[in-house]
Amino acid sequence: MAGRVARGLANAAGYVTQRPPLSSAAVRTLVRVTVPGIVAHLDLDAFFAAVEELENPELRTKPLVVGGDPRGRGVVATANYVARGYGIHSAMSAAEAIRRCPQAVFVRPRHSLYREYSQHVWSTVRGIVPTVEQTGIDEGYLDVGEVARDFLEARVVAEAVRTAVRAATSLTCSLGVAPCKVAAKVGSDARKPGGLVVVVPGQEAAFLAPYDVRRLPGVGPKAEERLRPAGVDTVGRLAALGDAELRRLLPGSVGAVLRDRARGIDPRGLELDVERISISVENTFERDLADPERLHDELRGMAAEVAASLQRSGQTARTVTTKLRYADFSIRSRSTSLDVGIDDAEQIGDLACRLLDRGLRDRPGALRLVGVGVSGLVAYRQLALGSL
C-alpha cells in the first residue's frame, strides 16, 4: 500500500437486519441497539506503531514507541512488539520507556494518518460483516450472527475478516468470537498478535476464569485495589464471590455487574446510532444458489416487499441496489440511480435483476445471500411540491 490509503470510503453507519436466518424482512425502523447471538471483538494489533512501520519499513526491527517526548512529560500511546519485549506498554511515561530501552525510536502520533487507515479497515470489515459497533479507532464489535448461523461458520467469517484486513491494509488484527461482548473482548486479547479465539456457548465462565482480574472489562484501578488484598486476583475468584463479600468489596450496582461479567453473563448488545436512509430486504439461503432464474424470482419477491414498504410510508426511491454475498462471505453490491423516484414493484424488480446479472458477470459463483435495497427516499408530497 505505498503511502496513504484510499480516501472517500463508505460511511460508517449501517443498518441492522432483524430477521430469522432463512427468511427475509425489510429494514423499516430506526435501530440503536441489537443483541446478536454471536459477537466478535476485533482489535488491530499495536495499531499506531503498525501504521508507522508500514510507512517506514525500516522501523519493523527496531523498538518503536509512538507517543510524547521522552525528555518531557509525554506518555506512550502504543509500542511495537519489539519495544514491548523491553516492558514498554501503553500509558507508561515516555521517560520510563526510554529508561527501559535507551535505543528505542520515538515518533509523535499522526492521528490524521491513523484515521485514514482506520477508515479503510472498517470499510473492509463491513464488506463481510455489515453491522459494526466501532468503539475506537482500532477496535470494535461485529454482529457475526448476522452472517453466520453457528459458531463453526462464525470462525470462518472471523478468519475471512482477518484475511481481508491483512490483504486490504497490510495490518494484522486479533479477534475474539463469543456469545457475549465480555468474552469476545477478552478473547481478542488472548492470542495477540494476529490471533483468533472462539468461545462457544456455555464455556464463557470457564474461559474467563484463569485471567487476571484486571483483564475483565470494567475492572479499573480502584476496583483492583479493593479486590487484590482480599485474594480476588483472577476473574474466576470474582465470579465465585458471595453476595455479602461482593457488597463489602464492591458496593453498589457495579459489583453485581462485574460479577455477572466474570461469570460470562453480559446482556449488552451492539450500540448503533443510524439514520433511516434506505429500505432493504435480503434472504440467506439454506444452500448456496446459482440458478439465475431462481435468483431472479427471489429478487422479484423482495422487490414487492420493498415497494409495499415505500407505498405504506408514502415515499419513492431514486436508487436501487442489489446485494450479493458469496460462499466465502464476501459481499458485492451493484446500484443504479434514476432521475425520478419509483415505488413500483415491477420496475424495482427489473432493475434488481439486471444488477444481479451485472454482478454475476463481474464475479460468477453461487450465492449465499441476495438482497434488494432502495435509497434516495423522497416523500410523495415533497416530490409534488418540487415539481410545481
Q: How far is CA 259 from CA 37, 213, 232, 240, 380, in A?
A: 21, 11, 11, 8, 53
The C-alpha cell that represents 170 in the structure block: 497490510
Quick one: CA torsion of 142, 147, 151, 156, rounded to 10 degrees?
A: -90
Largest distance between two CA atoms of the chain: 77
Residue 301: other Cβ atoms inside 10 A: 15
Which position among 52, 139, 298, 305 bears the catalytic label? 139
Residue 41's closest CA among 214, 158, 216?
Answer: 158
Distance CA 151, CA 93 (A): 41
CB atoms within 10 A of CB 253: 8
Taking the C-alpha atoms of residue 154 and residue 149, their distance in angstroms, rounded to an integer, is 7
Cell 432463512 belongs to residue = 22
Active site residue 139: yes
**Alpha carbon distance 211, 190 (integer Å):** 9
Torsion region of 134: left, alpha or beta (phi above 0 gives left; psi -120 to 50 gives alpha): beta
Please name the helix (run of DSSP H) or strand (run of DSSP E) that holds residue 331, with its range, or none: strand 331-342
Residue 101: exposure state from Cβ atoms within 10 A (0-12, 13-18, ≥19): buried
Q: Angle, nearest 10°, between helix axes 111-126 and 151-169?
A: 140
Instruction: Using DSSP, state whether 273 is helix, strand or coil.
Output: coil
Please state whether 316 falls in left (phi above 0), alpha (psi between -120 and 50) or beta: beta
What grid cell was written down for 66?
A: 509512538
State how far the Cα of 355 lies from the Cα of 292, in Å rounded to an integer.
12
What residues are labeled active site? Answer: 139
